[in-house]
Amino acid sequence: MSDCSERKIIHVDMDCFYAAIEQRENPELMGKPIAVGGDGRRGVLCTASYEAREFGCRSAMPGFKALELCPQLIIVPVRFDLYQQASAKVRAIFGRFTELIEPLSLDEAYLDVSHWQSDAGAIAREIRAEIYEETQLTASAGIAPNKLIAKIASDWQKPNGQHQISLEEIPEFMEYLPVAKLWGVGKKMQQKLSSEGIETCGEMQGVEKIEMAKRYGKWGIQLYDLCRGIDDREVQTSRIRKSISKEITFGEDVNRVQDLFPDLGQMLDSVKESHQQHYRDRVIKSAVVKLKFADFTQTTIERATERPSIELARELLLEGWRRGGQKSVRLLGVGLKLADPEPESQSHLELGMG
């Protein structure tokens, strides 16, 4: 498990996803209160546009109730195929930035971008900009050292905004945060906590750990950590990790290739250390250096090796720099590609044949 203080987690949440897609597909619906749901009055809303939310319409509300609140509400039928297509495009954009993606639904996901040396807020802005450019849909994002706070923060600047919480800001951020914002605290738990005089995380922090366990069992021990902003959960993906990489976007373009050597060495050491700590059972099959130039063209150079060295990394860097026309560099990346893990069934078969 990686050190939480080193993690850069982004929670991306699309804004009124289904409703926004329907407004995009039918410009006449733009700016109007609309909802997506089945069977009109008799159905239940899947989502409502921001215009409809101003009247109190929300997801899971019966259609007839929504129409009572907003008589001019336009309810359009659900088109999951369309939403899945848009979701796939958004997911593809995520994949340009990281392999560590944990989808929560069609319209939200956690991304672990710890391998980037750039500020995670800048990465989130780039992701949101690419989503809008390619889908004409807006997204909001929360950026934090863990999943708990990233998800809470993504709701802070909605719609079409983002909010970043650093490790140092966590104590102050949590102190006045309503306990209802904590993962797993539903209405019943919220009412129970409220009856005991606990409305904020700061108030919960005043309860001793043993007392939390007595009152709420194992869940109380989890709450003891959560109310302090402590969350060790890693971004879970079912995909086998294919590579380990680090990237940095420079504040100013770098003109001389030799000025890239110090960062190159640091990043190579970092990815090799990550391999030893987390993937030492996986064989390294190649080393990769990536360059993006001032004109936004880019090149990637890869060389087969099981033992990547700084000498090899510099060779790849120089080759890429020459290939790119020796232009100024705005982004440098270093990576190791990993061989696929040996299937257990194959290992067992070979042992049996011995």
> What one-character-per-residue DSSP string does 179-221 give?
GGGSTT--HHHHHHHHHTT--BHHHHTTS-HHHHHHHHTHHHH
Phi, psi angle pair for 76, to nearest 5°? -110, 150
Rounded Cα distance, 58 and 55, in Å: 9
Catalytic entry in 51, 108, 130, 247: 108
**108 classed as catalytic:** yes
DSSP character for 62?
A: B
Query: In Å, how far are 72, 174, 288, 303, 305 from 243, measured between CA atoms?
Result: 52, 35, 10, 14, 14
Does residue 109 contact residue 12 with C-beta atoms inside 8 Å? yes
Rounded Cα distance, 121 and 124, in Å: 5
How many Cβ atoms from other residues are within 10 Å of residue 136's Cβ?
13
Place of tokens 């090149």: 299
Beta strands in the chain (DSSP E): 9-14, 34-37, 45-48, 74-76, 101-105, 108-112, 139-144, 162-164, 243-254, 284-293, 298-304, 329-338
Active site members: 108
